[in-house]
Amino acid sequence: MRRIKEYLVSFLFILLFLIAYVTNQNAGGTLPGAGGPSATPAATESAPADAATATPTAEGSTSVAPTSAVQMINFNRGLQPVVRDDAYRTTYEIFVYSFRDSNGDGIGDLNGIREKLDYIADMGFDQIWLTPVHPSDTYHKYDVDDYCAIDPAFGTMEDYEALLQECHARGIHVLLDLVLNHTSDTHPWFRAATDYLRTLPAGKDPVFEECPYVWYYTFSREPMDGFVPLEGTSWYYEARFWSEMPDLNLGNEVVREEIKNIVQFWLDKGVDGFRLDAVTSYVTANPDANIEFLKYLTDTCKSIKPDCYLVGEAWTDRLSIANLYASGIDSLFDFPFSNAEGVIRSTLNGSYKASDFVEAMKLAEQAYGEVNPNYVDAPFYTNHDMGRSAGYYAQDDGPVTKMAYALSLFMPGNSFVYYGEEIGMKGAGKDENKRAPMYWTADASAPGMCTGPEGMDDVQMKFPPLDEQMSDDLSLWRWFTEVIRVRKAFPAIARGRTETAEGVCDESVAAFFRRSADDGDVLVVMNLRDQAATKDLSALGNLQLAAVLNTSEESISYDNGSLNLPAYSIAVLTPTAD
Ligand SMILES: [Ca+2]
Ligand SMILES: [Ca+2]
């Protein structure tokens, strides 16, 4: 009888284990362990400092969730995103041509993106920025032929509307890339203007009533800096980037009316905001006029949809970016931190101290916040114009690349990630290489794979394709997922102000508080070097370990105010009551 009872108990235990295991698998491993179910980050209060061993705790925890040898997988399992309807998002940049092909022509398209919305949402992204989708005869489509249509290679307007709807159903916002500095030279406005000038008798001035499109651009009878000759005439036209990209005359009221109609069209459709291309080039060599146009654009968009979000591309230094915040725009990409020469890479390669990274964040907050207290920083590490970050550290097999992206994702604001960076894709040199097909799988001819831009070199990948990385607890992809999980579980990370953790922050360890009136305080401690570090945090108040990020199977521990960080690892701590 007693043996039967024992069998029954064992059977029940195994059954419970199986149920818990299956439930957790179905949730993509995001459910809290059986020991600490909770919908808030507070769940981690009871998490053991080292959960990797999954040993039953003294309290008799019967944690039966599958465990990993990597501490963060177990420790962060209970963290849940704090969802806010504000601009502090985590945004995925999609180069549409190269992301996902739905119809077998090798060209990425809108329906392909729709197929992958679960992938994007499961990683924790709550906003996407699509590179331009308007008709254009280039693969990148940064020279627009029609601002209120969809390029047929990418799909139809119905496809775009369906994409918007499915994004919104998942809580994902959509940013439209708006290229207003210039049109294509094949845009009907430019064709009309140039056709008119070609028929105009020599020496006669153009007449507005005969062809207002002449005033949409800037024509000159004299050769000028930034102008190119108009073939078949004695005229020149402004084209700062390329002869096939004539600059719009953004000071002109008729052009502004057209732009107002364009943003109205897209906001009415339901887009959540715009990524503005080349905002420093709107009005060349006249910073005040440039800011004035950016203000006009911001005010116009907000007058139509007050909570629409605008982020501008100003590839320039901190001071120039700060000046542009006078326009009232929500965000400007934080270029000084990005790219192979930026603060992030310099910090990881040792040119800067870990503490310099914290100082740089504080300087940016001060410079931007002084001009516009409501600014939202837009940190990013790379984009479609930059070499892929996996090429920045030739000797690195993962940890340095991971830490570099963590620096970007732990910056305050709306954080942007370029597609493929989450799996460490490669690509540098010519632009086409920076826009290689998303590396879903090793088989380049598998369904959904794109062929990539014409002229792209054969880009050799350094890290495995996504499907292989998804089953590896130490992959780059898993790291990204965990970093974003932590970023979203502690809203102060994106929304708070940076304060150096004095006495802890040094050459190799970046340590800072993010303090937020609404979201509380968090302490972030990042070991940015290849040696373990032990830090005494006892002077910083009563803290508890709230989240961990490991690049190896070595665990982080926190006991009696002493934090032990293995090489290249991150601890997030929160204050306790006393
Ligand atoms: Ca296609
Ligand atoms: Ca311009």
CATH number at residue 566: 2.60.40.1180
The answer to whether position 80 is within a domain reads: no
Q: 65 falls in which pLDDT band (50, 70, 90)?
A: low
pLDDT at 32 over 90: no
Q: What single string gives the DSSP state of each residue in 364-385?
A: HHHHHHHH-TT---B-BS--TT
Percent of the chain with pLDDT over 90: 88
Instruction: Please compute Rg for the chain using Cα positions.
Output: 26
Whether 336 and 437 map to the same domain: the answer is yes
Q: What is the mean pLDDT of residues 474-493?
A: 98
User: How far is residue 543's CA from residue 539's CA, in Å, rounded to a whole number?
Assistant: 10
Return the ligand number nearest the Cα of 226.
2
Residue 84 belongs to some domain of the structure: no
Helix axes 157-169, 253-269, angle to 10 degrees: 60
| Cα–ligand 1 centroid distance for 112 (angstroms) | 7
Confirm whether 515 is domain-assigned.
yes
- Dist. CA 143 → ligand 2 center (Å): 13
Claim to verify: residue 70 and residue 214 sit in the same structural domain: no
Range of the domain at 202: 188-238
Instruction: Give yes or no: residues 379 and 482 share one domain.
Output: yes
Q: Which ligand is nearest to the CA of 284?
A: 2
CA of 448 to the centre of ligand 1 (A): 8
515/520 Cα distance (integer angstroms)? 6
Burial zone of 190 (CB within 10 Å; 0-12 exposed, 13-18 middle, 19+ buried): buried
Query: Is 313 annotated in the active site?
Result: yes
Q: What is residue 229's predicted lDDT score, i.e. its pLDDT? A: 98
Residue at a domain's end among 51, 75, 99? 75
User: What are the DSSP calls for 236-263, one per residue?
Assistant: EEE-SS-TTSPBB-TT-HHHHHHHHHHH
Q: In terms of domains, do 34 and 151 share one?
A: no
Tell whether 83 is covered by a domain.
no
Which of 130, 127, 56, 58 lies closest to 95, judged by CA? 130
**274 and 151 belong to one structural domain:** yes
Out of 492, 512, 529, a domain closes at 492
- Give the domain CATH number at 363: 3.20.20.80
| 28 alpha carbon – ligand 1 mean position (Å) | 29
Tokens representing residue 11 in the block: 């059977």
Ligand nearest to the CA of 159: 1
Q: Which of 151, 185, 277, 422 is catalytic?
A: 277
Q: Please check whether residues 234 and 378 belong to one and the same domain.
A: no
- In a shared domain, residues 444 and 545: no
Residue 380 falls inside a structural domain: yes
Q: Is the pLDDT reported for residue 35 higher than 80?
A: no
Evaluate whether residue 122 is within a structural domain: yes
236-272: per-residue pLDDT in tens? 999 999 999 999 999 999 999 999 999 999 999 999 9
| Residues 360, 213 share a domain | no
Same domain, 418 and 376: yes
Cα-to-centroid distance, 182 and ligand 2 (Å): 7
Dihedral Cα 289, 292, 297, 302, nearest 10 deg? 170
Q: Quick check: 74 and 63 in contact, CB under 8 A?
A: no
Q: Residue 14: is its pLDDT beyond 80?
A: no
The mean per-residue pLDDT over the stretch 53-61 comes to: 41
**H-helix or E-strand spanning residue 574:** strand 569-575
- Tell me if 39 sits within 8 A of 79, measured CB to CB: no
Domain-located, residue 244: no
Of 468, 492, 516, the residue at which a domain comes to its end is 492
152 Cα to the center of ligand 1, angstroms: 9
Q: Where are the beta strands (DSSP E) in 45-201?
A: 90-94, 127-130, 173-178
Q: What is the pLDDT of residue 212?
A: 98
- Residue 221 banded pLDDT, cuts 50, 70, 90: very high
pLDDT at residue 202, as a whole number: 84
Catalytic residue among 313, 334, 396, 482: 313
Identify which ligand lies nearest to the alpha carbon of 283.
2
Q: What's the DSSP call for residue 51?
A: G
Sheet strand arrangement including 569-575: 497-500, 509-516, 520-527, 569-575, 543-550
pLDDT above 90 for 27 = no
Residue 4: band (very low, low, confident or very high) from pLDDT cuts 50, 70, 90: low
Give pLDDT tens digits for 435-455. 999 999 999 999 999 999 999
Q: What is the tally of structural domains in the chain? A: 4
Asked, for residue 243, whether it belongs to a domain, the answer is no
Ligand nearest to the CA of 293: 2
Mark whether 518 and 540 lie in a shared domain: yes
pLDDT digits (tens, 9 = 90+) for 369-406: 999 999 999 999 999 999 999 999 989 999 999 999 99
Whether residue 277 lies in the annotated active site = yes
Residues 548, 473 share a domain: no
Distance 183 CA to ligand 2 centre (A): 10
Name the band, by pLDDT with cuts 50, 70 and 90, for residue 50: very low
Are 45 and 100 in the same domain? no
Distance 78 CA to ligand 2 centre (A): 50
127 Cα: distance to centroid of ligand 2 (angstroms):
28
